[in-house]
Amino acid sequence: MALWLYERTLLLRRPIRPLSAALLLCALMLFPPLLARQADVKRAAVENALDSIPVSVVLSDIRGTGTEDIGLPRTIGDGFFDDRPGTTGEYVYGVLAKSSVCYSIGGEGFTSERRLIGLSALEAERGFTPAGGNRIEWLGCEGESLFYGSREACAAPKELFSALEPDPDGVYRVRLRLRPYPAAEMQETQIVLKVAGVHDRGADVYCPLGLIRRICTDMAAPMYYDSLRAEVKSNRGLPALKALLSEHFAGIDPFADPYEYMRKGVYAAAVIHDEQLNQTVDALEKDIRTLETLKPFLLIFECAAAGFASFFLVHSRRRELALACALGVRMRAAVIAAAAELLILLVPGAAVRNVIFGFGAEAAALGSISVCTLSGGCAAALAAGARRFELLKESE
Amino acid sequence: MALLKAEELCYHYRTKAQTVRAVDGVSLELERGGFYALTGRSGSGKSTLLSLLAGLETPMSGRITVNGIELKRDVLTLYRRNTASVIFQSFNLFPLMTVKENCMYPLLLQKRSERDAERIACGMLEKVGLDGTYFKRLPAQLSGGEQQRAAIARTLAAGTELVFADEPTGNLDPKTGGQIISLLRSVSHDEKRCVLVVTHDLSIADAADAVFRMSGGRLEE
């Protein structure tokens, strides 16, 4: 009881040192979960970035590997529209694709400036959209839905439309002769398209992409995509998408052999616009790695600081401890009293930590700091007890 | 039977250069009610011998018996609590406890009730000349002589049979020192306690019933 009397008077009459020690220990105990929370915040930001930052895949101005091939083969392009497992379509959405064949009217010849262009959606040709400066006058109620599906309908250029006469049912139709683009001499077909709209952008006729597919199939001609753009459904599927694309495109893997496309015969015009995602995620992951690297060093520092603080707190009272032992306090009791005082000083910090970060957060770190605190204090108490006679002989 | 009997006590410590035999085969007996002085030059081993007799250190060889019971390591704490107490040159009061609380401390260690401890402590403080105005003062608010009186009161309050004083007047002026020695002498004679004072002061030695002289770790004949 006498020992507790002394501890009590100490806490009541000179509270600055124990309060300072309690504050220091509180701060030290808050650090590890604070760091862990920072790392968690960064990880959540990584997840958020993966969920929210848009990534697009762009295949445009496609050229082969120095051969005569032009355009992305249908088998590859169609994969973007096919959302079955294992296809590129499983990983993308909002595909905007364009493919074309040449057309002529009447007895005119075929030129590359008169094309029947199939679009998967109006936005597949930026210059064709109203935002791109093009005006489209829709004759019926189809509007942009013209390009969905494979109906035999089109948006015709103004010059072409002005030469047409409506059918008895009031519908304008145009008969076109078609050849694949680039043209092959023996492949040709004809088609009659309903004019659903009129535009003033060049001489090209625009129709649904599905119609071009059908036309090429009818002509037994290969179909090539002129351009293809899509949004990635989930950035978490990006690695798998890149693996799929790298079967046909070089440059997907920045660490791959830059000349592999010459050996593999793959295309080299695919671009995945994930720069913003990579920048964001890389920066966050760098921060996370830094925090994880710092964690053990900070913990060592905190344990050392706690141990030293408790050591010096008890050491500052070494004469009183020695005196207590000289008066008949057991060494064990003195050490227990010092440990109990330190435990009391640890409680506020532990309580604050549990309230803010939850019970169990970084419990190992809390345990380490507590053990070092108790060890430092007990070591000082034992040292004082062992040197009691010398300490008591020293002048104050 | 002697109250305390020491036989062939030895204590040495090692430095880098040599081994110092601070106490080398010391034997002595102390009787109840005796007032003894232990003198010698600096470094003769007086304080070390006192620490052995007071149970603050354990001899490396030899034995100490008190009331016929040998002092072994496992009983030293109880010995210091109930049988022997020490008065130091530097007073050694708890700085954050009042004078009264300092005197109560050893009584509380002996498991007395707080009320009894307070009563006894106040009585001893008054006996050494510290009246009620001193009870709530902290040691820093007392003079050297007053602090030493408080330390003596603490020793008296403990009621131990053996009182060891290590240069109790070393930090005091001669007049105050003389008062302290008179007080200790009266404690030994009036309360039948054995008091052993370690001192350089020959006037204190003159006041003692018997004088032990140490030189080189040994008692001179």
Alpha-carbon distance values, A6 to A14, A105, A345, B13 (Å): 11, 110, 16, 33
Of A6, A331, A395, the CB nearest to B94: A6
Q: Report pLDDT digits (tens) over A108-129.
A: 777 777 899 999 998 888 888 8
Query: A84 and A10, same structural domain?
Result: no
Looking at the fold, whether A95 and A16 belong to one and the same domain comes out as: no
Quick: pLDDT tens for B184-200: 888 888 888 999 999 88
- The ipTM value here is 0.90
When mean pLDDT is compared across A53-62, B61-70, B208-217, the lowest value belongs to: A53-62
- CB–CB of A328 and B89 under 8 A? no
Whether chain A has a CB inside 8 Å of the CB on B166: the answer is: yes
pTM of structure: 0.71
Boundary of a domain, candidates A230, A251, A273: A273
- The pLDDT of residue A226: 83
Which residues does chain B have within 8 Å of residue A6's beta carbon, measured at their own beta carbons? Answer: 94, 96-97, 105
- Contact yes or no for B51 and A330 at CB 8 A: no
pLDDT in tens, A321-371: 888 888 988 888 888 888 888 888 888 888 888 888 877 767 888 888 888
Last residue of a domain, one of A273, A306, A329: A273
Tell me whether B147 touches chain A (CB under 8 Å). no
Pick from A256, A273, A290: which residue ends a domain? A273
A212 and A74 in contact (C-beta within 8 Å)?
A: no
Instruction: For A168-193, write each residue's pLDDT tens digit.
Output: 988 999 999 998 866 556 678 899 99
Could A394 and B88 be called an inter-chain contact, meaning their C-beta atoms sit closer than 8 Å? Answer: no
- Interface contact B106-A328, CB threshold 8 A: yes
pLDDT value of residue B84: 93
Query: Do A114 and A225 reside in the same domain of the chain?
Result: yes
Strand B61-66 with B4-14, pairing:
antiparallel
* pLDDT-derived band at A261, boundaries 50, 70, 90: low
Residue A13 has what pLDDT?
84
Asked whether residue A344 is assigned to any structural domain, the reply reads yes
Confidence (pLDDT) at B151: 92
pLDDT tier for residue B73 given thresholds of 50, 70 and 90? confident
Domain count, chain A: 2
Domain extent at residue A88: 56-273
Read off the pLDDT band of A396 (50, 70, 90).
Answer: very low
The whole-number average pLDDT for the span A216-241 is: 88
**A214 and A362, same structural domain?**
no
Percent of chain B with pLDDT over 90: 45
Per-residue confidence (pLDDT) for residue A394, from 0 to 100:
64
Cβ–Cβ gap B92/A392 under 8 Å: yes
- Does the residue A240 lie in any domain? yes
Q: Smallest Cβ distance to B101: which of A5, A319, A394?
A: A5
Rounded mean pLDDT of chain B? 89
pLDDT on residue B35: 93
Answer yes or no: do A33 and A168 share one domain: no
Give domain status of residue A331, yes or no: yes
Predicted pLDDT of residue A254: 65
Cα–Cα separations (whole angstroms), residue A52 to A58, A236, A277, A388:
19, 11, 9, 68
Does B75 reach chain A within 8 Å, measured CB to CB?
A: no
**In chain A, which residue's Cα lies nearest the Cα of B106?**
A327
Out of A9, A331, A394, whose CB is closest to B97? A9
Q: Are residues A245 and A298 in the same domain?
A: no
Instruction: Check CB contact of B58 with chain A, cutoff 8 Å.
Output: no
Provide, rounded to the nearest whole percent, the portion of chain A with pLDDT above 90: 26
Give the pLDDT confidence of A188-213 residue by residue, as tens digits.
889 999 999 999 888 999 999 999 99
Highest mean pLDDT among A58-67, A132-141, A277-286, A306-315: A277-286
Please report, for residues A125, A143, A209, A244, A253, the alpha-carbon distance to residue A93 in angstroms, rounded to integers and kept in the order given.
17, 22, 16, 16, 22
Which class for A322: exposed (0-12), middle (13-18), buried (19 or more C-beta within 10 A)? Answer: buried
Question: Cis peptide before A168, with omega less than 30 degrees from 0?
Answer: no
- Provide the pLDDT confidence category of residue A260 given band limits of 50, 70 and 90: low
Asked if the structure places residue A51 within a domain, the reply is: no
At B188, the amino acid letter reads S
Q: Which residue has the higher pLDDT, A253 or A93?
A: A93
A286 and A180 in one domain? no
Question: Confidence class of residue A259 from pLDDT cuts 50, 70 and 90?
Answer: low
Residues A261, A338: one domain?
no
Does A124 map to a domain?
A: yes
SS3 category, B204? helix
Q: Are B76 and A326 in contact (CB under 8 A)?
A: no
Q: Which of A5, A330, A392 sits opposite B88 (nearest CB)?
A: A392
| Shared domain check, A384 and A244 | no
Q: What is the pLDDT of residues B90-147, one digit of tens each?
A: 888 999 899 999 999 999 999 999 899 999 999 999 988 898 999 999 999 999 889 9
Q: Look at residue A65 and tell me whether its pLDDT is greater than 60.
A: no
User: Are residue A291 and residue A269 in the same domain, yes or no?
Assistant: no
Selected residue of A389, A394, A395 to mutate for chain B interface (largest B Cβ count, 10 A): A389
**Over residues A53-66, mean pLDDT:** 66
Say if residue A232 is in the same domain as residue A173.
yes
- Domain co-membership, A159 together with A258: yes
Of A14, A328, A395, which is closest to B80 when you measure between CB atoms? A328
CA distance A281 to chain B (A): 59
Give residues with Cβ within 8 angstroms of B184, minimum separation 6.
B35, B87, B152, B163, B165, B168, B195, B197
- Contact between A319 and B92 using a beta-carbon 8 Å cutoff: yes
pLDDT reported for residue B145: 87
Is the minimum CB–CB distance between B118 and chain A shorter than 8 Å?
A: no
- Which of A:41-100 have CB within 8 Å of B? none
Query: Is the torsion defined by CA of A365, A369, A372, A374 positive or negative?
Result: negative
